[in-house]
């Protein structure tokens, strides 16, 4: 057989590519008290001289997918994420120019957009700004919910929302918890706190003699108070934040007697970049999707009954 010619094969390998898909990288850039967030889902697909690994199992030309994952996180720190396009171009160039055997890189990126949470009047006077500088709500509408029950005499209206995703890039700690022989969690003194809020609230309008609430205004105000309480609470646990969100609603909205929350703790783990000689001072995070802590609870006006079914909020 002539050198470089391929052996005759009855079955021939066609197009192929490989890499790590869906690297969930969150980059926080701190400009004093003002934080900026970039939240990406980055998928890497590489192709090149990959015949051998398929035909014979030789890995000599394989840059491990694990390395492509590490590269995404390290480059987020080293190069920064100005835009998804700029980051994708940088990554693709890196893979193709740093490894002779890689001839083509395809980088696909989904970007999740966030906007800042507006401050309450009291807090904006306190911090001197209309927005909380480290608090964000995911763009895109949440789903609004309602359930109405009528038995010919009494009304029960429970309204709510789901998929309202919020994030604080600072002002969250978690420490002082039970440690048993299975505990490995390190105490956190400055962590990301993120959740996708599912909440339901019960109106105290129960009969036609009572003045009916303004449902539209009520929804808008509940949502606002919920977001502001999330943003403005210095949190020692998601449980504490849950209670603050509920009590802010109960204290500000006389038409509501009870709120129930189901709050998944959307964990963001600081990526260890030390092996690549990089410091990671609360900048680059891996946004894990599962498993997640699930924090649930009811907040009720003193003297009122809790009637929202415990397992309703996950629907
Ligand atoms: O806010 C939190 N509450 C918990 O109960 C908990 N448990 C955990 O591992 N992390 C956290 N965070």
20 is known as an active-site residue: yes
What mean pLDDT is predicted for residues 89-116? 96
Q: Which value does ipTM take for this structure? A: 0.99
Residue 35 has pLDDT above 90, yes or no: yes
C-alpha closest to that of 292 among 156, 172, 193: 193
Which of residues 1 and 140 earns the better pLDDT score?
A: 140
> What pTM did the predictor assign?
0.91
- Distance (angstroms) between ligand 1 centre and the Cα of 173 equals 10
Which of residues 120 and 3 earns the better pLDDT score?
A: 120
Per residue in 152-198, pLDDT tens? 999 999 999 999 999 999 999 999 999 999 999 999 999 999 999 99
Residue 215 has pLDDT above 90, yes or no: yes
Question: In the chain, what are the domains?
Answer: 23-111 (3.30.1130.10), 115-300 (3.10.270.10)
What is the residue-averaged pLDDT of the chain?
Answer: 95
Pick the residue whose CA is nearest to atom 7 on ligand 1: 293
Per residue in 259-277, pLDDT tens? 999 999 999 999 999 999 9
CB neighbour list of residue 297: distance below 8 Å, 6 or more residues apart: 239, 242, 243, 246, 260, 261
- Distance (angstroms) between ligand 1 centre and the Cα of 293 equals 7
pLDDT of residue 141: 87
34 is known as an active-site residue: no
CB neighbour list of residue 38: distance below 8 Å, 6 or more residues apart: 26, 27, 29, 76, 81, 111
What mean pLDDT is predicted for residues 22-46? 97
Is there a binding annotation on residue 239? yes
pLDDT of residue 1: 46
How far apart CA 41 and CA 107 sit, in angstroms, is 10
Q: Give yes or no for residue 265 CB within 6 A of ligand 1.
A: yes
Proportion of the chain above pLDDT 70, given as a percent: 97
């Amino acid at each position: 057989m002539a050198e470089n010619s391929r052996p005759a094969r009855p079955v021939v390998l066609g197009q192929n590519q490989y890499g790590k898909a869906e690297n969930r990288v969150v980059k926080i850039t701190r400009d004093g008290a003002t934080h900026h967030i970039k939240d990406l889902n980055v998928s890497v697909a590489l192709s090149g001289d990959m015949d051998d690994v398929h035909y014979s199992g030789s890995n000599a030309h394989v840059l491990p997918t694990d390395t492509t994952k590490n590269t995404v996180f390290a480059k987020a720190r080293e190069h920064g994420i100005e835009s998804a396009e700029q980051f994708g171009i940088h990554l693709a160039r890196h893979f193709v120019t740093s490894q002779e055997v890689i001839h083509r890189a395809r980088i696909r990126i989904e970007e999740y957009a966030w906007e800042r949470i507006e401050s309450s009047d009291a807090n904006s006077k306190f911090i001197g700004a209309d927005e909380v500088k480290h608090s964000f709500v995911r763009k895109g509408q949440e789903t609004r919910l309602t359930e109405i029950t009528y038995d010919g005499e009494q009304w029960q209206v429970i309204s709510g929302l789901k998929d309202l995703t919020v994030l604080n890039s600072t002002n969250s700690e978690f420490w002082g918890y039970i440690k048993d022989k299975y505990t490995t969690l390190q105490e956190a003194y400055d962590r990301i706190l993120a959740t996708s809020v599912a909440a339901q609230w019960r109106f105290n309008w129960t009969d036609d003699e009572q003045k009916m609430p303004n449902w539209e205004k009520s929804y808008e105000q509940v949502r606002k108070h919920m977001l502001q309480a999330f943003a403005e609470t210095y949190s020692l646990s998601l449980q504490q934040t849950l209670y603050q969100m509920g009590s802010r609603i109960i204290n500000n909205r006389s038409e509501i007697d009870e709120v129930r929350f189901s709050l998944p703790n959307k964990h963001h783990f600081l990526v260890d970049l030390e092996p690549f000689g990089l410091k990671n001072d609360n900048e680059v995070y891996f946004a894990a999707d599962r498993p997640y802590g699930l924090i649930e609870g009811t907040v009720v006006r003193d003297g009122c009954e809790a009637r929202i079914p415990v397992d309703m909020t996950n629907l």
